[in-house]
A and B are shown apart, each in its own frame.
Chain A
Amino acid sequence: MKRILVGIKRVVDYNVRIRVKPDASGVITEGVKMSVNPFDEIALEEALRIKERGAAEEVVVASIGPADCQQQLRTCLAMGADRALHVQADGIVEPLVAARTLLKLTEREQPFLVILGKQAIDDDNSQTGQMLAALWQRPQATFASKVELDGERARVTREVDAGLETLEVDLPAVITTDLRLNEPRYVKLPDIMKAKKKPLETLTLAALGVEQKQRLKLTRFEPPPQRQKGIKVKDAAELIATLKSKGVL
């Protein structure tokens, strides 16, 4: 079966104002709204569109994390994914562990395409897709803003610092999504009801043979330095005078 695997992460919603714990041990995540990482929603949307065009037969969505991840997986099923895989893991899952886990899932599911968000908006690492591609020994096309499939190949336009770059990759391949690839659909109520009946399988890291190794110690969390609040000027002339007096003009 022509299958796409989409990885998603449960993260603090992008609208939540982040606060560091007073004892510097982490960021407050208790009682805050959690969502599907926005870039991963774009990844799922792209997979669904490919399937709707007839170029794939099944979209499988996977998440690694605590039991609560299943809420986000259900959201993805409601968006249109066919089935979900939840890999149970408590505590920190570093990108290399996530990549090893996704590698096991590619062995199991044999997808022709794996689509992931380009970064998670919590740790902002931007690593998992590239690491998976390395371990899988397959191509990577990161920061994608356009994906065209052509039989055994994909042509991917990437957002790079210089502008737009186009790569051609043999399939299977890993694609990570940038913001402008698509606009994810809204979930409709009947779809939420339907999603409850879709298959959601729970796996464990141990059963997949992945060790949850933590190689980086996160020893201290602190708020960023705050900028001093500035002054208001009344017109263009005063603005220029102010900048001149500050020595920046």
Chain B
Amino acid sequence: MSSRILIVAEHDGAHLNPSTAKCVSCASAIPDGEITVAVLAADAGAVASQAAALKGVSRVLTVEHPSSAHPMAAALAPQIAALAGPFTHVLGPSTTFGKDLMPRVAALLDSAQISDIMAVDGATRFRRPIYAANAIVTVEVEPGAKVVGTVRAASFQPAAAGGSAPVEKATVTAGIPAHTRFVSVSAAKSDRPDLQTASRVVSGGRALGSADAFKKTLYGLADKLHAAVGASRAAVDAGYAPNELQVGQTGKIIAPELYIAIGISGAIQHLTGIKDARTIVAINKDSEAPIFEVADVGLVGDLFQIVPELERLLG
């Protein structure tokens, strides 16, 4: 039996978030599937054409409503539930957007949800991490039930470009509640690569000692490497770095080519966030720090000497 898969696109009104291309990859792993991407937006045009260009997508549905100018689960969920009828699978990314939205969709559909899909073993069988990725569980959906899930971005390569799917306007009948209102979003504008998708990440921990030292020590190296900047929970809790830089079980789960952990001891909750990195480098003065258990290359020493030296050697 073939699968009809609906993917909920994540975007900021102008750009499709890279997490959507990862969802398409995950959906492509479902045998005999036909992939539709839904773009819910105030003005869907630009985002829809980006989604249509992803390889593996056979159709893009746009649903335009003024309330979708900023993504709010309470407004989006009833529209997605109304679209979901003919589909066997409804997938969204396991980003804060998808984590917020998809369970609300699942409940409206009277479905269970599979969070953080990391591998597809069949149309109704998936694997996902539990206990901060200290165990992997295989989950099977009962036959005939709709599969609702979020896709763990770090586990999938983005779908390639080169598709040319048709874009269709869809109309849905859904009550959009007025009880939830967007006020503001404060995002630090940065010229650095996005942490979630960067191929290199320079990340700092509590050993940096202050917000000032965090910035001074890490940002220069990150710029030299064209790397994104990340932080451990301890560094964010201490106020050295803003929350959106947090890497770990409750922050971002990332899979860069190169991850450089500087002054990070390596609590299990942090390691959860970097397990899929290709090469992990650890710089720490404590040779017993757990980060060295997972690091491919370790350097024991004073980060305040080593980091400037690295920067100098990189020219």
Residues of A within 8 A of B (CB): 12, 14, 17-18, 20, 27, 94-96, 99, 118-119, 121-135, 137-143, 145, 155, 158-170, 173, 178-180, 215-224, 227-237, 239-240, 242-243, 246, 248-249
Given contacts A124-B116, A219-B138, A243-B281, contact A232 B299 (CB under 8 A): yes
B211 at the interface (CB under 8 A from A): no
What is the minimal beta-carbon distance from A42 to any residue of chain B, in angstroms? 11
Shortest Cβ-Cβ A-B pairs, 3 listed = A130-B103, A134-B107, A163-B187
Cα(A164)–Cα(B196), bound, Å: 16
B292 contacts across to A, CB distance below 8 A: 230, 232
Pairwise interchain contact A222-B237, C-beta atoms closer than 8 A: no
Q: Give the distance in Å from the alpha carbon of A166 to the alpha carbon of B293 in the complex.
A: 39
Closest to A220 in B: B138
Residues of B within 8 A of A14 (CB): 269
Binary flags per residue of B104-116, CB closer than 8 Å to A gives 1, else 0: 1111101111111
10 residue pairs from A and B, CB less than 8 Å apart: A121-B132, A140-B73, A158-B96, A159-B96, A166-B184, A215-B111, A221-B137, A236-B313, A243-B281, A246-B296
**Binding site secondary structure of chain B:** mixed
B103 pairs with A127, CB closer than 8 A: yes
Cα A119 to Cα B243 with chains together (Å): 17
**B257 pairs with A248, CB closer than 8 A:** yes
For the complex, what is the distance from the CA of A179 to the CA of B257, rounded to whole Å?
Answer: 28
| Given the contacts A96-B107, A130-B104, A239 and B297 also touching, CB distance less than 8 Å | yes
Residue of B nearest to A141 (CB): B180
Q: Is the CB of A215 within 8 A of B183?
A: no
- Within the assembled complex, what's the spacing in Å between the Cα atoms of A243 and B77? 46
What B residues does A159 contact at CB under 8 A?
A: 96, 243-244
Q: For residue B314, which residues in chain A have a CB less than 8 angstroms away from its CB?
A: 240
Q: For the complex, what is the distance from the CA of A220 to the CA of B258, rounded to whole Å?
A: 32
Measured CB to CB, the closest approach of chain A to B306, in angstroms, equals: 5
Bound state CA distance, A127 and B149, in angstroms? 11
Closest to B195 in A: A161
How close is B76's CB to chain A, nearest CB, in angstroms?
Answer: 11
- Verify B138–A99 contact, CB threshold 8 A: no
Distance in angstroms from B94 CB to nearest chain A CB is: 9
Within 8 A of A (CB), among B235-263: 236-237, 242-244, 249-250, 252, 257-258
Contacts of A121 in B (CB 8 A): 131-132, 249
In the bound complex, do residue B313 and residue A133 qualify as a contact, i.e. CB atoms below 8 Å apart? Answer: no
B170 within 8 A of partner (CB)? no
With A125-B115, A249-B258 as given contacts, are A131 and B243 in contact (CB-CB < 8 Å)?
no
Check A167–B136 contact: CB distance below 8 A: no
A153 to chain B minimum Cβ distance, whole angstroms, is 9
Within 8 Å by CB of A164, from B111, B186, B279, lies B186
With A and B bound together, what is the CA distance between A240 and B306 in angstroms? Answer: 11
B267 to chain A, nearest CB (A): 10
Docked complex Cα distance between A243 and B283 (Å) = 14
Residues of A within 8 Å of B133, CB to CB, are 224
Nearest Cβ in chain B — how far from A241, in angstroms? 10
* New contact pairs (18) apart from A143-B96, A232-B298, CB-CB < 8 Å: A18-B134, A95-B103, A96-B106, A127-B113, A130-B102, A133-B73, A145-B243, A161-B96, A215-B142, A217-B142, A222-B135, A227-B275, A230-B295, A232-B300, A236-B309, A239-B281, A239-B310, A246-B296
B73, B105, B252, B298: the one contacting A161 at CB < 8 Å is B252
Q: Which of A141, A180, A236 is within 8 Å of B243, CB to CB?
A: A180
Partner of B104, one of A131, A178, A217: A131
- Is B82 part of the binding interface, using a Cβ–Cβ cutoff of 8 Å? no
